[in-house]
Structure 1
């Protein structure tokens, strides 16, 4: 099963009032495992960046001036997401902006049912508790120290970790979905997860490693652990 964890950054809150998308970030999951495939694009909003938006995103007019307009990247974005489920925090906001941009281009709209809202999932699981991305990172002990500014790709990577925690950990379907879909809707039966670019650090302490080694030493030379 292919899923796309998605985030956008915008100049404001309402596309009908002239606000535009300035950044899209997306992370591909296959069977609830990150594949390493991403989509990331800065976009020229064809308007000035309000000061309050600059302070949140750190993206100014000079930086965005030579970036492509949405009309230049809209079709490539649709090709990347295909018909895959879109995992979005506060999905109504992002889908509203994406569909506005797509409508202005004359491209197909993203169906509302294609999006899965992690904000709604969090509020249902933890009623009355803060459900922002930062709050969920604290709840699940996910490192978000690099999130000093809102960035679409970084937020998508963090949201992917939060999403897996919200649904009960990695591969909750026990990998029974054997034929994941590609972005174009085709079957890709030969897909396998890519290795992590950086190995996860060991969770064992030095004291635990020493205790294990002492235990194994008492089992004798024929013990399986002595041969590994």
Structure 2
């Protein structure tokens, strides 16, 4: 695995590059066999400029429940023709190389990826990551920290939900707003300081 560790990336938040990503899955518990159906990701710099984007469907091993197909607007045919998890994951690794992952919430998406990596017996995966849900808890404590209320609060243009790339694009816009507040109101400018504060939010 070539994901960069914290020590290999700039400590300055404005000098890092970020991969904001989202997963569409068949459920919430990879430990009991739930799978990834798609990965959407947006590459952005510390100024909030979007550099690149990716969207990759993943072929599941088990049949996908009808309500999941309806929710994600994915078809059996498109998933049947999609690459395996290993192929899709390596595409994501290449896309996110030399960057910090961001997800909302990271404890779900990163945990899911790590569980899938373990299931497929790939080398250990421990990327540098930021949980934008915990950032929201710090930056705008009076607002619900779920994605939809935050999109409304910041007047972020709404795209169709439960589409991995759309959700990643909206989360990227949210992350940009949260970084601005973290910098201006909380005077947090380094990755180390941010993680220390997010750790406090997680335990509170």
**Do the structures match in fold with TM over 0.5?**
yes
How much does 1:131 deviate? 1.5
Provide the residue aligned with 2:53 in structure 1.
Answer: 38
Question: Match for residue 139 of structure 2?
Answer: 125
Gaps of 5+ in 2: 1-15, 190-204
1:165 aligns with 2:177: yes
Cα distance per residue 1:76-115 (max 9 Å; x no partner): 3212212411111011111111112222333333326x11
Query: For this pair of structures, how many residues does the alignment match?
Result: 171
Native 8 Å contact 1:3 1:32 kept in 2 = no
Q: Higher helix fraction: Structure 1 or Structure 2?
A: 2
Structure with the greater alpha carbon radius of gyration: 1
Kindly report which structure 2 residues correspond to 1:1-228, keeping only aligned pairs within 5 A, or say none: 1-111=16-126, 114-144=128-158, 146-147=159-160, 149-168=161-180
Note if contact 2:43-2:50 (Cα within 8 Å) is conserved in structure 1: yes
Q: Which runs of 5+ in 1 are unaligned?
A: 177-228
Q: For residues 143-171 of structure 1, what are the alpha-carbon distances to aligned partners after superposition, in whole Å with 9 as ceiling and x for unaligned?
A: 10x32x411111111111111111117x9
How high is the TM-score relative to the length of structure 1? 0.68
Q: Structure 1: which 4+ aligned runs deviate by more than 3 Å?
A: none
Q: Deviations over 1:56-83 (max 9, x none)?
A: 2112323311111112232232122124
